[in-house]
Amino acid sequence: MEHVNYKVAIDCDPAATDLKQVIFEHLKEKGVHITDLNYMGEGFYLYPDIGYHLAKKIKDREFDRGILLCGTGLGMAIVANKVEGVYAGVCHDVYSAERLCKSNNAQVITLGARVVGPELAKKIVDAWLLSEFEGKGSLPKVNRMHELEHESFHTEEQTCESI
Protein backbone atom coordinates (compact mmCIF):
# COMPACT_ATOMS: atom_id res chain seq x y z
CA MET A 1 0.00 0.00 0.00
CA GLU A 2 2.73 2.44 -0.95
CA HIS A 3 0.32 5.08 -2.12
CA VAL A 4 -1.52 5.15 1.22
CA ASN A 5 -0.02 8.12 3.00
CA TYR A 6 -2.55 8.42 5.79
CA LYS A 7 -1.50 8.51 9.39
CA VAL A 8 -3.67 5.81 10.92
CA ALA A 9 -4.43 5.23 14.61
CA ILE A 10 -5.79 1.96 15.97
CA ASP A 11 -7.18 1.02 19.36
CA CYS A 12 -9.48 -1.50 21.02
CA ASP A 13 -11.21 -2.50 24.22
CA PRO A 14 -10.48 -5.80 26.04
CA ALA A 15 -12.84 -7.73 23.73
CA ALA A 16 -10.64 -7.10 20.69
CA THR A 17 -6.99 -7.21 21.72
CA ASP A 18 -6.16 -10.19 19.47
CA LEU A 19 -7.85 -8.65 16.44
CA LYS A 20 -6.06 -5.36 17.04
CA GLN A 21 -2.70 -7.12 16.98
CA VAL A 22 -3.60 -8.94 13.74
CA ILE A 23 -4.69 -5.75 11.97
CA PHE A 24 -1.80 -3.69 13.33
CA GLU A 25 0.80 -6.19 12.10
CA HIS A 26 -0.98 -6.65 8.78
CA LEU A 27 -0.98 -2.92 8.01
CA LYS A 28 2.53 -2.41 9.35
CA GLU A 29 3.76 -5.11 6.95
CA LYS A 30 2.06 -3.26 4.12
CA GLY A 31 3.97 -0.10 4.99
CA VAL A 32 1.02 1.82 6.42
CA HIS A 33 1.92 4.55 8.93
CA ILE A 34 -0.04 3.07 11.83
CA THR A 35 0.10 3.85 15.54
CA ASP A 36 -1.35 1.67 18.29
CA LEU A 37 -2.68 4.16 20.83
CA ASN A 38 -3.05 1.39 23.46
CA TYR A 39 -5.15 3.49 25.82
CA MET A 40 -5.68 0.36 27.92
CA GLY A 41 -1.99 0.64 28.78
CA GLU A 42 -2.86 3.95 30.44
CA GLY A 43 -5.52 2.20 32.54
CA PHE A 44 -8.63 2.85 30.44
CA TYR A 45 -10.62 -0.32 29.77
CA LEU A 46 -14.09 0.92 28.83
CA TYR A 47 -14.86 1.34 25.15
CA PRO A 48 -16.32 4.86 25.61
CA ASP A 49 -13.02 6.22 26.97
CA ILE A 50 -10.94 4.38 24.38
CA GLY A 51 -13.11 5.38 21.42
CA TYR A 52 -13.39 8.99 22.52
CA HIS A 53 -9.62 9.22 23.02
CA LEU A 54 -8.94 8.11 19.43
CA ALA A 55 -11.72 10.23 17.95
CA LYS A 56 -10.33 13.36 19.64
CA LYS A 57 -7.00 12.71 17.96
CA ILE A 58 -8.75 12.54 14.59
CA LYS A 59 -10.53 15.80 15.35
CA ASP A 60 -7.23 17.42 16.38
CA ARG A 61 -5.67 16.14 13.12
CA GLU A 62 -2.97 14.12 14.84
CA PHE A 63 -4.17 11.25 12.61
CA ASP A 64 -6.05 11.15 9.32
CA ARG A 65 -7.96 7.95 9.95
CA GLY A 66 -8.77 5.62 12.82
CA ILE A 67 -9.62 1.97 13.40
CA LEU A 68 -11.59 1.14 16.55
CA LEU A 69 -12.29 -2.42 17.63
CA CYS A 70 -14.55 -3.80 20.33
CA GLY A 71 -16.82 -6.84 20.69
CA THR A 72 -19.36 -5.69 18.11
CA GLY A 73 -17.95 -2.43 16.74
CA LEU A 74 -21.18 -0.77 17.81
CA GLY A 75 -20.16 0.98 21.01
CA MET A 76 -16.99 2.31 19.44
CA ALA A 77 -18.93 3.77 16.50
CA ILE A 78 -21.49 5.40 18.76
CA VAL A 79 -18.88 7.07 20.95
CA ALA A 80 -16.61 8.17 18.07
CA ASN A 81 -19.60 9.90 16.46
CA LYS A 82 -19.99 11.99 19.63
CA VAL A 83 -16.89 13.97 18.70
CA GLU A 84 -17.72 16.89 16.46
CA GLY A 85 -16.23 16.53 13.00
CA VAL A 86 -15.56 12.82 13.39
CA TYR A 87 -17.60 10.28 11.44
CA ALA A 88 -17.50 6.57 12.16
CA GLY A 89 -19.28 3.48 10.91
CA VAL A 90 -19.34 -0.23 11.67
CA CYS A 91 -18.25 -2.32 8.68
CA HIS A 92 -18.33 -6.08 8.54
CA ASP A 93 -18.17 -6.39 4.77
CA VAL A 94 -15.90 -5.01 2.08
CA TYR A 95 -18.59 -3.10 0.18
CA SER A 96 -19.63 -1.11 3.27
CA ALA A 97 -15.98 -0.36 4.07
CA GLU A 98 -15.53 1.18 0.62
CA ARG A 99 -18.76 3.17 0.83
CA LEU A 100 -17.83 4.46 4.30
CA CYS A 101 -15.15 6.57 2.58
CA LYS A 102 -16.50 6.95 -0.93
CA SER A 103 -20.04 8.00 0.05
CA ASN A 104 -19.92 9.05 3.70
CA ASN A 105 -16.43 10.53 3.96
CA ALA A 106 -15.96 8.95 7.38
CA GLN A 107 -12.52 8.88 8.95
CA VAL A 108 -13.12 6.07 11.45
CA ILE A 109 -13.99 2.44 10.79
CA THR A 110 -15.11 0.17 13.59
CA LEU A 111 -15.25 -3.61 13.67
CA GLY A 112 -16.40 -6.23 16.14
CA ALA A 113 -13.98 -8.97 17.09
CA ARG A 114 -16.96 -11.15 18.05
CA VAL A 115 -18.50 -10.66 14.61
CA VAL A 116 -15.73 -11.02 12.03
CA GLY A 117 -12.69 -13.26 11.85
CA PRO A 118 -9.18 -11.96 11.29
CA GLU A 119 -8.93 -12.75 7.56
CA LEU A 120 -12.15 -10.93 6.67
CA ALA A 121 -11.18 -8.06 8.96
CA LYS A 122 -7.90 -7.62 7.05
CA LYS A 123 -9.75 -7.47 3.72
CA ILE A 124 -12.20 -4.94 5.17
CA VAL A 125 -9.52 -2.56 6.44
CA ASP A 126 -7.55 -2.90 3.18
CA ALA A 127 -10.61 -1.90 1.14
CA TRP A 128 -11.32 0.98 3.50
CA LEU A 129 -7.76 2.32 3.36
CA LEU A 130 -7.72 2.23 -0.44
CA SER A 131 -10.98 4.19 -0.70
CA GLU A 132 -11.43 7.94 -0.77
CA PHE A 133 -14.40 10.30 -0.78
CA GLU A 134 -15.84 10.56 -4.29
CA GLY A 135 -17.73 13.82 -3.83
CA LYS A 136 -20.20 14.12 -6.73
CA GLY A 137 -23.74 13.13 -5.65
CA SER A 138 -22.59 12.39 -2.13
CA LEU A 139 -21.29 15.91 -1.53
CA PRO A 140 -24.62 17.65 -0.80
CA LYS A 141 -25.59 14.82 1.55
CA VAL A 142 -22.34 14.97 3.48
CA ASN A 143 -22.54 18.78 3.60
CA ARG A 144 -26.10 18.54 4.95
CA MET A 145 -24.93 16.07 7.58
CA HIS A 146 -22.29 18.61 8.65
CA GLU A 147 -24.92 21.38 8.87
CA LEU A 148 -27.18 19.22 11.02
CA GLU A 149 -24.25 18.24 13.21
CA HIS A 150 -23.40 21.90 13.73
CA GLU A 151 -27.01 22.65 14.68
CA SER A 152 -27.07 19.74 17.08
CA PHE A 153 -23.77 20.60 18.79
CA HIS A 154 -24.30 24.36 19.02
CA THR A 155 -27.88 25.58 18.58
CA GLU A 156 -29.53 23.17 21.03
CA GLU A 157 -27.00 24.03 23.68
CA GLN A 158 -27.90 27.73 23.40
CA THR A 159 -31.61 26.86 23.56
CA CYS A 160 -31.12 24.94 26.82
CA GLU A 161 -29.17 27.78 28.38
CA SER A 162 -31.78 30.32 27.40
CA ILE A 163 -34.67 28.40 29.04
Contacting ligand RB5 (CB under 6 A), which of 11, 13, 98, 126? 13
How far is Cα of residue 112 from the mean position of the Cα atoms in its chain?
12
CB 89 within 8 A of CB 109: yes
Q: Binding segment for ligand RB5 among 24-32, 66-74, 95-103, 155-163 (CB under 6 A)?
A: 66-74
Q: Does 71 bind ligand RB5 (CB under 6 A)?
A: yes
Q: Does 115 bind ligand RB5 (CB under 6 A)?
A: no
Contacting ligand RB5 (CB under 6 A), which of 4, 74, 94, 142? 74
Active-site residue, from 12, 70, 91, 101: 70
Taking the least distance from each CB to ligand RB5, the nearer of 49 and 62 is 49
Taking the least distance from each CB to ligand RB5, the nearer of 16 and 32 is 16
Question: Closest separation between CB of residue 37 and ligand RB5, Å?
Answer: 16
| 101 included as an active-site residue | no
Q: How many CB atoms lie within 10 A of CB 27?
A: 21
Q: Does 47 bind ligand RB5 (CB under 6 A)?
A: yes
Contacts of range 97-102, beta carbons closer than 8 Å, 24 or more positions apart: 97/124, 97/125, 97/127, 97/128, 97/131, 98/127, 98/128, 98/131, 100/128, 100/131, 101/128, 101/131, 101/132, 101/133, 102/131, 102/132, 102/133, 102/134, 102/138
Q: Binding segment for ligand RB5 among 72-80, 95-103, 125-133, 147-155 (CB under 6 A)?
A: 72-80
Q: Binding segment for ligand RB5 among 31-39, 70-78, 88-96, 116-124 (CB under 6 A)?
A: 70-78
Q: Does 52 bind ligand RB5 (CB under 6 A)?
A: no
